[in-house]
Structure 1
């Protein structure tokens, strides 16, 4: 870290360190964060859930019962170093030892660590066998007529999250084979020689964190308008309990990958000059939630007053009607149309980022099948609403403030198959 970092708050400094990565950033981060209270695992390995994505029971919650995601996030895009199918038992044992090291080193949850590994279509394409019927893992593709994203083709994705920035950095260094000990636990396995890190992405979520990181970031006005209580750059809370699918809903139910799930990962670049400098507070509320939310002044600050629901199904009104009569339709209002039996079908675990000094969102969602995400994305795009007074993107939720830069799909196996699975692991 440079001398210019000395004036940063501890939280802003830690976010910078996580974004930079490497041994030097880890050492600097350890000096600035409280490290003595990071607990080791309090459960035996066989007591942990088989679902990699079973995080919620271990996460903190707010006063309304909403899950409180870890503050610091790290995504590692991995490429398999072998030429053919991943079929060496020694490699599987090596990876499994690496993941078990992480599970022994840290308590599961915000104050320790949560993580998962998923595998992309390119990984499974190495095998002669197809994935079993009912497992949905298509190649990523553009999902709207106005996007041209890079389609990621990494063999695997590791998602690491913790309230401590130095935990995510330590995990990265341990996985790469650059640490002998992790939080007092001997490192017994790494990804070295099996995977190479092709790309790393970082991010954060939580009250006050975006406001601390907005200065000088591309995509945000120089006036630094992000509210202090906002957990995300766009100024509003998300992840309300009643707008999220349950972990049960997004879990694959049958076959050798029962207990697994799928990830869709998008990188979305933000363009918030008009959002903050031209749009009024009422316009932002209407576009994020619904015109009724703005008209009835339902959202205080970032929306923490809404409790465990965005309330779009209660007061949001009909999206098509608002498109015709109000000339505006809300993002949450559109997304709420993608439900089954009144329940959401995707579980969002997205977070903001300042990678490359640009304001962005790593939109990470879990769902039983990628088709569930596509259905939800279609609802959020709202192309069926644009024949009225709402243009293709203008006043159509938050579409005009976001550009899709990357898309990727991954299969997240259950823990028992998380180390180099075959398409038919059982």
Structure 2
């Protein structure tokens, strides 16, 4: 890919574009930009990691306490993301299964990252998850305490491709140069084997190959989507302060499952979780140019949100909650009949269990393929939790025109994948059933 034109972009825009491009050349350009002293560079160093990686949480997905919170108390997610798909190399396997040497290399490399970068959004957060295809390498089955089905199409409207490689590495940081230099360092493509003052004593090049055609990148944060109106199909109408392309805040604290709720709590993979990733395109021009703000609020939240003006311009009036009362959730079918429209959040909330959210979302915007989209990343106790929420959000049981059925008319799923995120102690090429 060609590097973006630095002269037409702010440093922030340029850095995000470089993350999407990837590679050593993009990393070099990003490091140059981060030290050019312009108004967007605070000049601070990346905080170093820990001398004792064993002191880090048992859960790979323990991110929330290491992230800042916004003025309302919601977790502020990392700004920059890379989803790096990986396939085991032949030299890392024997009779199809990972070797002990491959496990040692993987764990040693990941521990080096933890020594190099603080476990935080200002440093580096990451997870390494494994597909059902990976676990098919083993004679033993996954334990009954793990629900990890093959991914599948979840509505008649979609025909997605599926993640059938071995693993997915999710890299996240507020600093674009960090996710780029980690990606390059992991695969031995830099002459200088040092990251943030720590020498990388091993990398993953002998264990994994990158599946570059399925590499995914993105960003989330106030004002970031509006900086991509130069991309095809991203209209100028994207609100200046919106953290997501569709114009509203997300990830309200009270509408998110806790990390404890999504954690596997028994069996050999205790302290792990399951992850679902959906990659989708968004029809933003129709969303903004054919719908007014009232209609967008109705379809994103509920008709009551629009009528009572509960949301504000980008959701700033909602604080830590989506504003969906039990009564409003129960009125979803009535709204479909009487109002002729239902909200996305209103429908999805019907998938809660005993009033509690099932999913912990960590999704982000993307311009992969030079078009606006979303990589929907959710963590849940079992994949069936995601399926149930997705069924509720689809709203097939509701008597409402498809164009007014939440946001379904504007999103198009093109890829799905299911993963097991093992606990930290088993993250390096786990067997299917450690207790077998």
Give TM class, smaller chain.
over 0.9
Task: Find the partner of 2:205 among 179, 184, 192.
Answer: 192
Using the size of structure 1 for normalisation, the TM-score is: 0.96
Count residues with an aligned counterpart. 419
- Contact 2:61/2:259 (<8 A) preserved: yes
Superposition deviation, residue 3 in structure 1:
7.5
2:105 paired with 1:104: no
- Contact 2:310/2:323 (<8 A) preserved: no
Distance 1:357 1:164 in 2: 22
Partner of 1:351: 364
For structure 2, the 5+ residue unaligned runs are 35-40
Partner of 1:423: 432
Equivalent residues in 2 for 1:279-358, closer than 5 Å? 279-313=291-325, 316-317=328-329, 318-358=331-371
Distance 1:4 1:193 in 2: 35
What SS does the corresponding residue of 1:77 show, helix, strand or coil? strand
What SS does the corresponding residue of 1:337 show, helix, strand or coil? helix
- Contact 1:262/1:412 (<8 A) preserved: yes
Distance 1:55 1:296 in 2: 35
Distance 2:359 2:349 in 1: 11
2:182 paired with 1:171: yes
For structure 1, the 5+ residue unaligned runs are none
Distance 2:397 2:258 in 1: 28
Partner of 1:212: 227
Identify which range, 361-370 or 335-344, moves more after superposition. 335-344
Partner of 1:53: 61
- Contact 2:3/2:26 (<8 A) preserved: no
Superposition deviation, residue 10 in structure 1:
1.0
Distance 2:391 2:4 in 1: 47
Using the size of structure 2 for normalisation, the TM-score is: 0.94
Shift of the 2–118 alpha-carbon distance from structure 1 to 2, 3 Å rule, reads closer
Partner of 1:201: 216
The superposition leaves residues 245-278 of structure 1 with CA deviations (integer Å, 9 ceiling, x where unpaired) of: 0000000011110000011000010012221111
Q: Which consecutive aligned stretches of 4+ in structure 1 deviate over 6 angstroms post-superposition?
A: none
Partner of 2:374: 361
Distance 2:313 2:4 in 1: 35
Superposition deviation, residue 177 in structure 1:
1.4
CA RMSD between the two structures: 1.4
The superposition leaves residues 351-406 of structure 1 with CA deviations (integer Å, 9 ceiling, x where unpaired) of: 00001101010000000100000001001101111xx2x12x31000000000100
- Contact 2:348/2:389 (<8 A) preserved: yes
Superposition deviation, residue 113 in structure 1:
0.7
Distance 1:154 1:235 in 2: 33
